[in-house]
Structure 1
Amino acid sequence: MQNAFRSIGLIARATSIMGNRLFTPKNLQANQFLYLLRILENPGITQADLATQLHVDPSTCLRAVRKLSAGGYLTREADPTNQRRKRLVPTAKAQADAAQLHGYEQALLTVGTQDFTPGERLMLQELLARVAANIEGLNDDPDRLMATVKRAPHEN
Structure 2
Amino acid sequence: MMEILREIGMIARCLDSISNIEFKDFQLSKGQYLYLVRICENPGIIQEKVAEMIKVDRTTAARAIQKLEMQELIEKRNDVENRKIKKLFPTEKGKVIFIFLKREEEHSEKVALNGFSQEEKEVLLNLLSKMRKNVEIDWGLVKKGHNRQY
Secondary structure at 1:83 match in 2? coil
User: What is the alpha-carbon distance in structure 2 between the residues aligned to residue 73 and residue 122 of structure 1?
Assistant: 34
Identity of paired residues, percent? 32
* TM-score between the two structures when normalised by the length of structure 2: 0.93
Give per-residue Cα distances to partners, 1:93-132, cap 9 Å, x unaligned: 0111121110111111111011000000000000000000
Deviations 1:67-93 (A, max 9, x none): 000001000000112100100000000
Counterpart of 2:148 in structure 1 is 145
Supply the RMSD in Å over aligned alpha carbons: 1.3
CA distance in 2, matches of 1:82, 1:11: 42
SS in 2 for 1:76: strand
**In 2: Cα distance, 1:145 partner to 1:11 partner:** 26
Please state how far the C-alpha of 1:138 moved relative to its aligned partner: 1.2
**Aligned-pair distance for 1:145?**
3.5
For residues 2-151 of structure 1, what are the structure 2 equivalents within 5 Å?
2-142=2-142, 145-146=148-149, 149=150
SS at match of 2:29: coil
AA of the residue aligned to 1:122:
E
In the alignment, the residues of structure 1 paired with residue 126 and residue 54 of structure 2 have an alpha-carbon distance, to the nearest angstrom, of 19
List, as ranges, runs of 4+ consecutive aligned residues in structure 1 with deviation greater than 4 Å. none
Provide the rounded CA distance (Å) in 1 between the counterparts of 2:104 and 2:32. Answer: 14
How many residues get paired? 147
SS of equivalent residue, structure 2 residue 72: coil
In structure 1, give the amino acid aligned to 2:132: A
Gaps of 5+ in 1: 150-156
Secondary structure at 1:81 match in 2: coil
Q: TM-score, normalised by structure 1?
A: 0.90
Kindly provide the CA deviation profile for residues 53-73 of structure 1, in whole angstroms up to 9, marking residues without a partner as x: 100000000000000000010
